[in-house]
Structure 1
């Protein structure tokens, strides 16, 4: 298994997407340094950050011991998870059929379970105008997605059977079930999985990264942060 001497540089803010990578690094037991990119203050638009994350989104990493021993930067959480999993040979299977299954559920999270839950948060909590149609639209889609996940977890501890980057990708979003208007009594397999994941030492530690640094924000109240994060156009 590949070893890591120099710390990985993690560009991070405590969001479900940011916590994917802190969880992964903790589960792998790797050394890393955290660089806070305060997305409510516009740090993500700074030229230095855009060099490694051209989509001006967290998370991103720089691995000083990349391919051929040369540094490599990686942006987009799914790409980072796969890069780390394949480099260190953990949480991503070697069997092709099992790889396909993990890739499917990683893609499901990136295409559906993150964006739809994010829209749920936006219209139900942050939008200055409460549009009933939009709130119901995304809450219903959230409910549908929890149902999909609940069925997948029937009779298994983790999404694809063994703990994988698919679980790491989903847990940060699923922990927000209450603010998403979900009732876990309807989704008992998801509830059991959330508890199981939360009891993993690496996952727990990864979720606690930056918990007390003061860089969190209350978007429902912070109008300046809203102006930075919402309704952006090409620059």
Structure 2
């Protein structure tokens, strides 16, 4: 059994989407960011950086004590290596999936998060920041759009790279991006949206970028 410490941010949705795709049994442990539950000492023992998601694997691969994990990319890689789902078997495709996972963690997620903050949540408009992060996010959308021009999935087959990137594209409108400008990215996005696991992972989930006052940094 896996405990997923969760709030419905894009990073939280990455793990929920993976668990639904892999068909793994898990228990959602809600963490209210607005109430500061991410600073609770019990949570910090699992996630010392006070961010969600966090994971507690009660049946780790080494057979030892329950394994706590933080950092969503590390969790995706761990689960894929443990279960065999989400990492291509071919070495080159596997490396491609890992590279794009790191691209999401280092680029797409942080830039989308900043665009979302300054466009939706900043107490006062900061035009320079809005323009800077919206423009950089458009550049990153373009990188992914060009990469998808001759393939259905980021690493050639559906993988943790797709699962990591998709939740950060979901709030594209709030982030100032029009998918019509990125036709191959839009095709990929729509294909993931129709997957049964995606529908399960997003059922009843509120878009945190559509509701002013909800937490966005996680």
Shorter-chain TM-score: which interval?
A: over 0.9
Partner of 1:79: 74
CA offset at residue 73 of structure 1? 1.1
1:10 and 2:7 aligned: no
Structure 1's consecutive aligned runs of 4 or more residues displaced over 4 angstroms after TM superposition are 215-219
Q: Secondary structure at 1:52's aligned position in 2?
A: coil
Of 54, 61, 67, the match for 2:48: 54
Written as runs of structure 1 = structure 2, the 5 A alignment for 1:25-44 is: 25-44=19-38
Q: 5+ unaligned residues in a row in structure 2: which ranges?
A: none
**1:179-226 CA distance string (max 9 Å, x none):** 111111110111111110011111221222x627xx96976346xx69
Counterpart secondary structure, 2:62: helix
CA-atom RMSD in angstroms: 2.0
Deviations 1:71-120 (A, max 9, x none): 11111100110111010011102332222111110000000100001100
Aligned mate of 2:134, from 122, 136, 139: 139
CA contact 2:8–2:205 (8 Å) conserved in 1: yes
Unaligned 5+ residue runs, structure 1? 1-6, 231-235
- With over 3 angstroms needed to count, the CA separation of the structure-2 counterparts of 1:221 and 1:78, relative to structure 1, is closer
Match of 1:233 in 2: none
2:123 corresponds to which of 109, 112, 128 = 128
* Aligned counterparts of 1:162 and 1:220: Cα–Cα separation in 2: 37
Aligned to 2:68, the other structure's residue is in SS state strand
Aligned partner of 2:154 among 132, 144, 159 = 159
- Per the normalisation by structure 2, the TM-score is 0.93
